Amino acid sequence: MRSTILIVDDEYSGRQTLESILEADGYQIEMAENGMQALEMVKIIQPDVILLDVMMPGMTGFEVCQRIRNDPLVAEIPIIVLTALDDRESLLNALKAGADDFITKPFDRHELRARLIGITKLNRYHKLVQERISLQEAHTQLLKAYEATIEGWSHAMDLRDRETEGHSHRVAELTIELAKKFGMDESELVQARRGALLHDMGKLGVPDHILHKSGALNDEEWVFMKKHPQLAYDMLYQVEYLRHALDIPLCHHEKWDGTGYPRGLKAEEIPLSARLFAIVDVWDALTSARPYRPAWTNEDALQYIRDQAGKHFDPAIVEFFLKHML
């Protein structure tokens, strides 16, 4: 992409001289005849560099430079001051006004071209850095929006099923604590937390008369209830950024001995995050009071988890859970 140079000079001959020197280098040349015109054009064309004459009627180049530097929309544009004034005071005034470089007339065309090449490269690098920062900031904001959406969906599940209110957040935090100690890396932890928060998302597809039934489910109702992991997968797979977080929603009811659902996976066929989550899920369910039963004691819940090692749960994870989490 060609760099745009704005030449600001009240003399026609000065503008033409600069154009003749620079056009061979492939720059896009724009011209302004006075300070006010320059200020208007700077905002419109956003040039890569401004070549600014000092001695102009109405508004000097020093004033133009200072006005540009005071405008946050264009303040970062590099400015090279060109003037016939060859003295220390003029140089200091140019720098004080915010100029990036200072060339006295008559100038050497090779020196001018060399300085322009240097300053355009620096400006291009600066723009790339700013674009990268902007992209990183946008990415951060997008991730925050993603997490807020997941939190909202998880809360929606809590609102629908008051019996398990707060369960998703509790198991998400405990799953991450267990997974960290077990050695999962940061990217895996992010996906595990998302999956834990959304593990029961499929219950949105379960009719209320089944989800809220106070007694035991009949065979037909139980068949429908057991579809909720696949329903979660089918719903969430449509959201691309969640595709790596679906192991827990799909597999959290699989069992180490292969008697779980929906696919009857066995042992290490079950994803690690789902094996970790399964213990946490049962622990929280047992130790939380429900309308149809009081909370189990920690001792009773621990004994149940021990008894289910090698059946419901991965025995190695049971041992790790008992050693490191309680």
Kindly list the strands in the beta sheet with 4-8, ordered across the sheet, starting from the edge strand earlier in the chain.
28-32, 4-8, 49-53, 79-83, 101-104
Q: Which of 1-15, 63-77, 80-94, 245-259 has the highest mean pLDDT?
A: 245-259
pTM above 0.85, yes or no: no
| Segment 34-59, tens digit of pLDDT | 999 999 999 999 998 899 988 888 89
What pLDDT does residue 87 have? 63
Contact 41, 6 (CB under 8 A): yes
Contact 174, 280 (CB under 8 A): yes
pLDDT greater than 60 at residue 125 = no
Tokens read off for 202: 């499929």
pLDDT greater than 60 at residue 179 = yes
CB atoms within 10 A of CB 179: 21
Beta partners for residue 47, in sequence order:
none
What DSSP line would sit under 154-212, residue for residue? HHHHHHH-GGGTTHHHHHHHHHHHHHHHHT--HHHHHHHHHHHHTTTGGGGGS-HHHHT
All domains in the chain, ordered by first residue? 4-133 (3.40.50.2300), 161-324 (1.10.3210.10)
Q: Which residue has the higher pLDDT, 24 or 222?
A: 222
pLDDT greater than 80 at residue 297 = yes
Averaged over 263-290, what is the pLDDT?
A: 94
What pLDDT does residue 286 have? 94
Band (126; pLDDT cuts 50, 70, 90):
low
Using DSSP, state whether 267 is helix, strand or coil.
helix
How confident is the prediction for the chain on average, in pLDDT? 87
| Segment 244-270, tens digit of pLDDT | 999 999 999 999 999 999 999 999 999
Please state whether beta strands 28-32 and 4-8 pair in parallel, antiparallel, or not at all (unpaired). parallel
